[in-house]
Amino acid sequence: MTQKRALICGVSGQDGAYLAQLLLAKGYHVCGTSRDAQVSGFPNLVRLGIKDRLELLSMVGTDFRSVLNVVARVQPDEIYNLAGQSSVGLSFEQPMETLESIATGTLNLLEVMRFIARPIRFYNASSSECFGATGDQPADETTPFHPRSPYAVAKAAGFWAVANYRDAYGLYACSGLLFNHESPLRPERFVTQKIVTAACRIAAGDRRALHLGNLAIRRDWGWAAEFVDAMHRILQLDGPEDFVIATGSTFSLQQFAETAFQAVGLDWREWVVSDPALHRPSDLLANRGNAAKAERLLGWKARLTMPGVVAGMVSAALHAGAAV
């Protein structure tokens, strides 16, 4: 059989690194992009021990010619679009960068696929943020969108661009509406890693308190390495379809903090401060996903929920600290 070729746009991030690891294990030739591959250290790829096994290329998603050059050079069988500004909180400070990097980047990839007219399967990383607050009702593929942040607006635009190109031009293009998924590869600007890092820091003797925003928010947290497996499965179907990928279980940010601090023998109440200054202009009080379609058609179901996610992140953080 001819070796499959995959192009991962945004390979330096959490999902890109785990996806690259998965595809390499499946025998793919994997190419990955970042804005400037010559200067990026790709620390996540280094941490997973796979950096030297990938072909790494520079690509600017908002530049059509840059996208065209890379896709024409790689000649991929599958494209995974994971690039773009990835922080909900930062999107309030950088709305234009967020919209352009996500929506325009997605549109350029779709237009390149249409332009070169080659049978490429395209996965687009959409987000549960598109749904807004789902409350007690878990969101599935039929749930209307109600984006509440510039990030969510950009992801919704990308989702509909994919749907439009699929319908109008017959492209094999689909989106995964992924709920929150974490791992040790998360940067500390994400609240989950911020909590884990602080818990380990305080356990090691640092007495500084951890300041968080709204502790009452509830999220559906899963494990990133499991979620990238769903991405790959989506592109193996006979025809393109969109999927919600989630655990179906929700926990509050307070519970996340309590679990992380408990894992290192601390009482979170002694170290965590809820700081109104860290509240977002508009935030989702609760979200939860229904991944029944993914289980039925992909054979995919999340194994880890929040307690298991925290255990994995804390273990990795403690191991990294011990190795320093």
State the catalytic residues.
127, 129, 151
Give which of 182, 180, 165, 184 is closest to 121, Cα–Cα.
Answer: 165
- Alpha carbon distance 77, 6 (integer Å): 6
Task: Sort 290 into a burial class: Cβ within 10 Å, 0-12 / 13-18 / 19+.
Answer: buried
> 178: number of CA atoms within 13 Å, CB side?
27
Report the helix count and the strand count for the chain, using DSSP H and E.
12, 13
State the greatest distance between any 2 C-alpha atoms of the chain, in Å, as a whole number: 60
Complete DSSP assignment for 118-140: ---EEEEEEEGGGG---TTSPB-
Q: Which amino acid is at 290?
A: N
DSSP 21-34: HHHHHTT-EEEEEE
What is the rounded distance in angstroms from the CA atom of residue 114 to the CA atom of residue 166? 10
Give the integer Cα–Cα distance in Å for 252 and 214: 10
Q: For the chain, what's the residue count?
A: 324
Q: What is the CA radius of gyration of the chain?
A: 19
Distances (CA, A) of 287 to 5, 129, 219, 221, 293: 35, 9, 5, 10, 18
Strand pairing of 172-178 and 121-127?
A: parallel
Asked if 321 and 169 count as a contact pair (C-beta separation under 8 A), the reply is no
